[in-house]
């Protein structure tokens, strides 16, 4: 494993950009739902990787067979 002092470091402005929410990613009023998520990035990645998202079929989107 690399010595942490040898790892690249993001400039502060880039770090601020990548660690803050945007209009699209902000949880807003639902932020409280994040409280039980793990702080460990590896565990959080595992949770996200194991999610199954069901997307409606094209004909189901409008409810009229389109």
Q: Is residue 4 part of a domain?
A: no
Q: Is residue 2 part of a domain?
A: no
DSSP output for 17-42: HHTS--TTT--GGGGGGGTTS-S-HH
Of 64 and 45, the one with more pLDDT = 45
Q: What mean pLDDT is reported for the chain?
A: 83
Domain ranges, residue 24: 11-60
CA 65 to chain centre: 33
Q: Is residue 33 part of a domain?
A: yes
Q: Is residue 15 part of a domain?
A: yes
Q: Is residue 22 part of a domain?
A: yes
Q: Is residue 51 part of a domain?
A: yes
Number of domains the chain contains: 1
What's the whole-model pTM score?
0.44
**pLDDT (0 to 100) of residue 14:** 94
Q: Is residue 5 part of a domain?
A: no
Is residue 28 left, alpha or beta, with left meaning phi > 0 and alpha meaning psi from -120 to 50?
A: left
* Cα separation, 60 vs 66, whole angstroms: 8
Indicate the pLDDT class of residue 54, thresholds 50, 70 and 90.
confident
Helix %, strand %, coil % of the chain (to 5): 45, 0, 55
Q: Is residue 65 part of a domain?
A: no
Question: What mean pLDDT do residues 22-45 have?
Answer: 92
């Amino acid at each position: 494993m690399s010595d942490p002092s040898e790892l690249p470091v993001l400039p502060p402005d880039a770090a601020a950009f990548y660690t803050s929410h945007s209009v699209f990613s902000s949880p807003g009023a639902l932020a409280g739902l994040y409280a039980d998520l793990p702080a460990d990035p590896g565990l959080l990645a595992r949770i996200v990787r194991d999610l199954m998202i069901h997307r409606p079929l094209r004909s189901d989107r409008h409810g009229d067979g389109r």
